Chain A
Amino acid sequence: MTAPATAPRASRYADELAALGVVWQRDMLHYVRDRLKIVVTVLQPVLMLLALGAGLAALLPASPGGADYRTFLFPGMLVMTVQAPAISAGVALVTDRQAGFLREMIVAPVRRETLLVGRCLGGATIAACQGALLLPLAGIAHLPYDPVLLALLLGELAVVALAMTALGVLLAVTITRTESFYAVLSVLTMPLIFLSGAMFPVQGLPGWLSWAVLINPVSYAVDALRRTITGYLPGPVPPQLFDGPRWGGWSPPVALELAGIAVLGAVMLVWASRRFGRLG
């Protein structure tokens, strides 16, 4: 009877890792089973890209290199595609709590932090997959089908997806009232996208709005993706459209932007894990 009580440390880690894997796998099973949701989630950014993109591209002059408004819009739509499924990792947590399945997980001989991290990885993977579904449309936005560029974009999307999943999960474990959770979610998601430079350039904004853009983490996600794209375009791009957030005239490098997002995501994940561990 005492043998399992003193299980070696290594096997404890293996157990936690197996638990992490199975929580992730469950999310994947749900994801691939709901085909309609996959299509609908990716449809909105596609429509924006086609309709809004075509409409506004006609108003703005294209650069000699071929980059136009659609080129500008593409990274914004990538972030938007990733945001919805990432945030729904938090929604899934709330749904599990309502459906009772959460209890099945929290009485298991597994650390709660493991369950939460598994959940985040699942949500981030789904979000990155959704983003990947949009990549084939790169040609519409005059992006070259360069495998290195596409791989870079996918990698950056994965980082952004993980940070956004952490946000969704943090909200879910902080706001335990379901109605309040949904209310906060709907109020929060809109400005995060609108004030990020995803749809219109951030340079011409009035003072207080430009501050909102500067403190919005999503601005740096959009900017990082956009600058990665412009690096692979054949010609120069119109700066009034493509310039991102600046700190007193200085543009933070792409690597710093991504690192900042990753750190922010990690902090939110640790915070959420702590809270989840204490929940009764």
Chain B
Amino acid sequence: MVTRSGHGERSAAVTAGDTASDTPAAPVIHARALAKSYPGGPAVRGVDLSVAAGETFGFLGPNGAGKTTTIAMLCTLTAPSGGRAEIAGHDVVTEAHQVRRHIGLVFQDTTLDLGLTAWENLRFHARLYGVPAAAARERARMLLDLVGLGGRRDDLVGTFSGGMKRRLEVVRALMHRPRVLFLDEPTIGLDPHTRAQIWEHLRLLRERERITVFLTTHYLDEAEHCDRIAIIDDGRIIAEGTPAELKTVVGADRIELRSSDDRAAAAQLRDLFGLEATVTERGLSVRVADGAAFVPRMCAALTVPIESVTVVRPSLDDVFFHYTGRTIREEGGR
């Protein structure tokens, strides 16, 4: 009885997926109970994902949390040992060929051929993906212009800077008009200026292509660019939502306060508002739900002269710490 109903559910889901892939509401990435075990133990323990068309989805987690394995399964590079996943309505195991047509990949380490020119790299990719020659030339011209590499089309990639290589890789991944662009640490190892530049180009490309982006990053300020975020730890997704939603879970804003007498101010905060302030080297720090609304009330109530007040909104670093008990940079950047 149980097995029978389970079987029926599954085939129903398949047909629903096939017909629904034409409607815009159908998720472009869909994973259910996706799992992977290695001889050393489980790496991913049942991940559910649903990413809508046009969404930018950030996938965060400490090292060894299962990020890379999950991406590898979604990209058909590793076979799942349990569960299933579909990209653009195609199963990653039984229709790997179709999935590959619909995804573009940018890996952490460069996968460009440094001995070829930018255009030769793009042409190679286009022919591998069956893009007609004329269309490939036109698309390469448009995309290279968009990321500011129009003038370097015929230069050897070996002469490119790190940021230029990254941009070229993004262009290459988009040559065959994929539905989903996977970016594994797209800005790792780049200086802040170049990182900002890459994000600006990604924003332009997303506007232009209406593409779904699935990315991992160690820079949580970059995760702010995402529409939605999932945090994975120990092979399970432990939090999911928009950056704003996740920050609400962590809750409170933090107010940093400098006064002429921190001890007296702390006592008044406790007596008047019932708040426990902690003393830091920059003065007092106190957590409240809505910092902006609290500041005028606090300033009116405290009799101790106040020198400065700062409201700090919770960052994704706080969110990450809240869920994993670690800061993401403890992992050493890789």
Q: Which residues of A contact B (CB under 8 A)?
A: 1-2, 4-5, 15, 18-19, 21-22, 26, 29-30, 33, 99-110, 280
Residue from B21, B76, B88, B113 within 8 A of A101 (CB atoms): B113
Report yes or no: A19 in contact with B21, Cβ–Cβ below 8 A.
no
Report yes or no: B78 in contact with A280, Cβ–Cβ below 8 A.
yes
When C-beta atoms are compared, the residue in chain A nearest to B156 turns out to be: A33
Report yes or no: A104 in contact with B22, Cβ–Cβ below 8 A.
no
Report yes or no: B78 in contact with A99, Cβ–Cβ below 8 A.
no
Could you tell me the distance in whole angstroms from the C-beta of A171 to the nearest C-beta in chain B? 22
**Most A C-beta atoms less than 10 A away, residue of B89, B116, B127:** B127
Report yes or no: A2 in contact with B18, Cβ–Cβ below 8 A.
yes
When C-beta atoms are compared, the residue in chain A nearest to B131 turns out to be: A18
Contacts of B120 in A (CB 8 A): 26, 29
**Most B C-beta atoms less than 10 A away, residue of A101, A104, A105:** A104
Could you tell me the distance in whole angstroms from the C-beta of A138 to the nearest C-beta in chain B? 33
Q: A104-B111, A107-B77, A108-B100 are in contact. Are A26 and B124 (CB under 8 A)?
A: yes
Answer yes or no: B218 CB below 8 A from chain A CBs: no
Contacts of A33 in B (CB 8 A): 115
Answer yes or no: B81 CB below 8 A from chain A CBs: no
Q: Which residues of B contact A (CB under 8 A)?
A: 18, 21-22, 75-78, 88-90, 95, 97-98, 100-101, 103, 105, 107, 109-116, 120, 123-125, 127-130, 172
Report yes or no: B97 in contact with A109, Cβ–Cβ below 8 A.
yes
**Most A C-beta atoms less than 10 A away, residue of B22, B109, B110, B128:** B128
Could you tell me the distance in whole angstroms from the C-beta of B20 to the nearest C-beta in chain A? 10
Report yes or no: B101 in contact with A4, Cβ–Cβ below 8 A.
yes
Could you tell me the distance in whole angstroms from the C-beta of A178 to the nearest C-beta in chain B? 16
Report yes or no: A107 in contact with B75, Cβ–Cβ below 8 A.
yes
Report yes or no: B88 in contact with A1, Cβ–Cβ below 8 A.
yes
Residue from B76, B97, B111, B127 within 8 A of A21 (CB atoms): B127
Residue from B78, B116, B129 within 8 A of A108 (CB atoms): B129
Report yes or no: B128 in contact with A4, Cβ–Cβ below 8 A.
no
Complex Cα spacing A29 to B116, Å: 8
Report yes or no: B75 in contact with A104, Cβ–Cβ below 8 A.
no
Could you tell me the distance in whole angstroms from the C-beta of A280 to the nearest C-beta in chain B? 7
Could you tell me the distance in whole angstroms from the C-beta of B76 to the nearest C-beta in chain A? 7
Q: A5-B95, A107-B105, A280-B78 are in contact. Are A18 and B127 (CB under 8 A)?
A: yes
Report yes or no: A100 in contact with B95, Cβ–Cβ below 8 A.
no
Report yes or no: B128 in contact with A105, Cβ–Cβ below 8 A.
yes
Complex Cα spacing A108 to B18, Å: 23
Contacts of A18 in B (CB 8 A): 127, 130
Complex Cα spacing A1 to B20, Å: 10
Contacts of A2 in B (CB 8 A): 18
Report yes or no: B100 in contact with A26, Cβ–Cβ below 8 A.
no
Q: A5-B90, A99-B114 are in contact. Are A104 and B125 (CB under 8 A)?
A: yes
Contacts of B124 in A (CB 8 A): 22, 26
Residue from B18, B76, B107 within 8 A of A100 (CB atoms): B107
When C-beta atoms are compared, the residue in chain A nearest to B90 turns out to be: A5
Complex Cα spacing A21 to B128, Å: 9
Residue from A21, A103, A110, A280 within 8 A of B107 (CB atoms): A103
Contacts of B18 in A (CB 8 A): 2
Could you tell me the distance in whole angstroms from the C-beta of B28 to the nearest C-beta in chain A? 11
Report yes or no: B111 in contact with A100, Cβ–Cβ below 8 A.
yes
Report yes or no: A19 in contact with B115, Cβ–Cβ below 8 A.
no
Report yes or no: B110 in contact with A19, Cβ–Cβ below 8 A.
no
Contacts of B89 in A (CB 8 A): 1
Contacts of B98 in A (CB 8 A): 4-5, 109
Report yes or no: B100 in contact with A107, Cβ–Cβ below 8 A.
yes
Report yes or no: B21 in contact with A1, Cβ–Cβ below 8 A.
yes
Contacts of A99 in B (CB 8 A): 110-111, 113-114
Contacts of A26 in B (CB 8 A): 113, 116, 120, 124
Could you tell me the distance in whole angstroms from the C-beta of B96 to the nearest C-beta in chain A? 8
Report yes or no: B116 in contact with A19, Cβ–Cβ below 8 A.
no
Contacts of A30 in B (CB 8 A): 115-116
When C-beta atoms are compared, the residue in chain A nearest to B88 turns out to be: A1
Contacts of B113 in A (CB 8 A): 26, 99, 101, 104
Complex Cα spacing A2 to B112, Å: 32
Q: Which 6 A-B pairs have the closest CB atoms?
A: A22-B127, A109-B100, A108-B128, A100-B111, A104-B111, A15-B130
Can you list 20 contacts pairing A with B, beta carbon distance less than 8 Å? A1-B22, A4-B98, A4-B101, A5-B98, A18-B130, A22-B127, A29-B120, A99-B111, A100-B110, A103-B105, A104-B111, A104-B113, A104-B125, A107-B105, A108-B125, A108-B128, A109-B101, A109-B129, A110-B128, A280-B78
When C-beta atoms are compared, the residue in chain B nearest to A22 turns out to be: B127
